[in-house]
Structure 1
Amino acid sequence: MIISGLILTLSMLVFAIGKSPVFRVDRAGIAIIGAALTVGTGVMSFDQAAQAVDYRTIILLFSMMIITSYLNMSGFFQLAGNQFLSRLNGKNQLLFMVILITGILSAFFINDIVCLLLTPIVIMITRRARLNPTPYLLGVAAASNIGSAATLIGNPQNILIESLSRINFGWYMALAIPISLVGLVLIYVLLSWIYKEELSGQLPEFQPMTGVVHGYLVKKGLVVVFLVLVGFLMGFDPAIVASLGAAYLLITRRVKPNKIYRGIDFNLLVIFIGLFVIIGGVEHSGLLMLLMHTPWMKSVQNLQVFSILTVVLSNIVSNVPAVMLLKYLVPVHMGHVWWAALAIFSTVAGNLTLTGSIANLIVVELAKKENVEIKFLTYLKIGLPLTVSMVFIALLYFAIITKIFHIA
């Protein structure tokens, strides 16, 4: 118990900071080190560690990365961006479309990857139009988090929750979409108010984004996405459906597989596998059961307390580790509602600070490479009111839902 507790504590410390304060170890590195120590110190055997990994989650995450990377390589995101931009006149309209596009794409593709794709495009557009890129980039970061809450495939923690809970894809989507739509509107209102002077007026004329768009590949990719989503909604196993879609896209004479593999975030896959082993070690050692029987943990018996705890823990150790820890608190008799709350609140929590989610960090780091600096306090001006408002709205929403349907 002591060894597994130390491994968990050290791992969560690095996840909270983002990197080791002493060595050059990042989140993926500490996941590997923690998993290796869990097996190496005898907390679990190698076979037990292998069994602790939820391979359905890994397969689903990997498959969605392949599908998203394929669409990016085909030119879909560039094509969609140009279609929207051709219909804009005002600076406020551009902000609205950036938030809307980011939110919609993040609902059906992993939000981290959407940020990787859209951030350079937004910077390029704002520079061509001689605009301050900051409000638009803040819109990308915030909307990617809020939009990804709408489905169980929008972000890594929701993919994990889908795999752990097996809650119905369509049911969750119907429950979560209203929250996401309210959140996207709130992002637009807050940014329009904070940057009202810079967002007033008309857009200057600028050339559309250039690049190769493979029409056939775009159509093939969109058909696969549509069929995968239909499979999800019909209740088929998401891991199998997504893997079949990804496999079909890899059957082609026109694209070298390496071009698609470049869009896969292998660091994120390593983090997931390492965390499964670390948390599995804590459970196997008996420490988790001991923690679950503490008076404080026993007090977490209502949805509101659980939701607030989700927000707090997600900002301390990041949302994926928080989900892996909090899954043990979900009651069996009303699990579908608690799982949905865990998905929504862990995602909303990512908007609080600049380091609250990987998506935020991706936007900031890519912007920094283009000499656009977004400071911690700059983000906090939008992140703090947005998160507080969304937590309050979501708590009220779940209170109404549970009362109407008598499910909690």
Structure 2
Amino acid sequence: MGSLLRTFLHDRFLQALLVLGLIISVFADFHYRQLALAVNWKTIITLACLLLLTKGIESSGYFDLLGRRCILHFRTQRALALLMVAASALLSTFLSNDVALFITVPLTLTLRKFTQLPVNRLIIFEALAVNAGSLLTPIGNPQNILLWSQGRQGFFQFIWQMLPLAALLITSLLLLTFFSFSKQPVKRQQNSETSEWQKALFIQCATLYVLFVIALELDLAVYALLVVALFFLWRAPRILLLLDWSLLVVFILMFIDVLLLTRLPLLTPILQQVTHWGQTGHYLLAIGLSQIISNVPATILLLNFLPASTLLAWSVNIGGFGFLPGSLANLIALRMARDRSIWWQFHLFSIPALLFSLFAGGCLFFLINVV
């Protein structure tokens, strides 16, 4: 229980959102009953279920075992980097961008035992990879969960609309990875550590994951969360304590803060004008706003004035690149690295990635939807 409390006490982002909300509430025109209604509880329920299931898969030790075995079978730094970047992108499509980083970054940090690989650079590329990979599916990141829950598309329809952008960005990132890492051989230790894993727990969580996606399609998310919670209460109750509950509170506060922002007398007339802008204006606004307040709050804010369209989905996901606040995944990856130098190194790759994504993504969207 103490570790659970510490997650709240040390979460600076949560504290900042709370302070911001208290300050804005002094000037906003709202009623306290509207705060609970501002929260998209379907999104929160979906996030809670995903966090539980992915924590269960992580706790089974399967991905850790698989990653260590893969590391031992690759001979060059380039091949190893391509593996980790591709794995980050792939895992983020169904485990969410945050959880994918919790799997790949710790594995990457252990590479110091095997090689002189530039670990900081690889972590940066993994952060870019989860932003690119997670945009493909409705459950890959929080903004997609929100857009999917607000829209009228099915699971595979959402994937189809995001596929061109995901293919473009992932392919470009893999090419950049190929040229950014050398063919220097990987040095291995003869006595490498082996990890035990719980096969039964992995199979059970993977099965529940598939059933959960089906339940979402049938609009049975509440019942799915109940089943998943009861499963962990019976099978592995410690996972309920290890879960990052503060992350759920962060997203609840995001919904509330955005509501308060929209109720500011000075800001409301400006935001209402957004509906009259053209597609280019909406595209640039969503990307630019993501750079300032992160793409999840930007999505929450813009959905008050714009529909959950393909254009909005593309633009807020592109907004995850660029400056550090663009995506919470960026903050998670760099914080786990525990190296101050990585904070400025990140922007050497992320800002060019934003510029490329903004231009190439805009051209691709125009070709698909206009020409």
1:131 to partner: Cα distance = 2.2
TM-superposition CA deviations, 1:38-87 (whole Å, max 9, x none): 66778433322222222111111111111111111111221331353354
State the distance in 1 between where 2:16 and 2:230 align. Answer: 34
State the distance in 1 between where 2:133 and 2:42 align. Answer: 23
Identity %: 24
Kept in 2: contact 1:110–1:148 (CA 8 A)? yes
The counterpart of 2:355, out of the listed 388, 405, 408, is 388
Kept in 2: contact 1:367–1:373 (CA 8 A)? no
Question: Paired residues, what number?
Answer: 361
The counterpart of 1:205, out of the listed 188, 202, 215, is 188
Paired position in structure 2 for 1:374: 342
Kept in 2: contact 1:95–1:188 (CA 8 A)? no
Read off the aligned partner of 1:210 and give its amino acid letter: T
Q: Within 5 Å, which residues of 2 pair with 1:238-387? A: 239-240=221-222, 243=225, 246-247=228-229, 249-250=231-232, 252-253=234-235, 255=236, 257-264=237-244, 266-283=245-262, 289-294=268-273, 297-302=274-279, 304-330=280-306, 335=307, 338=309, 340-368=310-338, 373-376=341-344, 378-387=345-354
CA distance change for structure 1 residues 372 and 88 in 2, over 3 Å: closer, same or farther?
Answer: farther
State the distance in 1 between where 2:130 and 2:172 align. Answer: 13
CA distance change for structure 1 residues 288 and 353 in 2, over 3 Å: closer, same or farther?
Answer: closer
Q: CA RMSD in A?
A: 2.8
Kept in 1: contact 2:292–2:325 (CA 8 A)? no
Give SS of 1:261's match: helix
Q: Within 5 Å, which residues of 2 pair with 1:1-150? A: 26-36=12-22, 43-150=29-136
Paired position in structure 2 for 1:214: 198
State the distance in 2 between where 1:246 and 1:263 align. Answer: 13
State the distance in 2 between where 1:301 and 1:31 align. Answer: 31
Kept in 2: contact 1:38–1:44 (CA 8 A)? no
State the distance in 1 between where 2:24 and 2:253 align. Answer: 10
1:37 to partner: Cα distance = 5.6
State the distance in 1 between where 2:162 and 2:192 align. Answer: 34
Normalising by structure 2, we get a TM-score of 0.86
Kept in 1: contact 2:212–2:221 (CA 8 A)? no
Unaligned 5+ runs, structure 1: 1-23
CA distance change for structure 1 residues 90 and 231 in 2, over 3 Å: closer, same or farther?
Answer: farther
1:224 to partner: Cα distance = 1.8
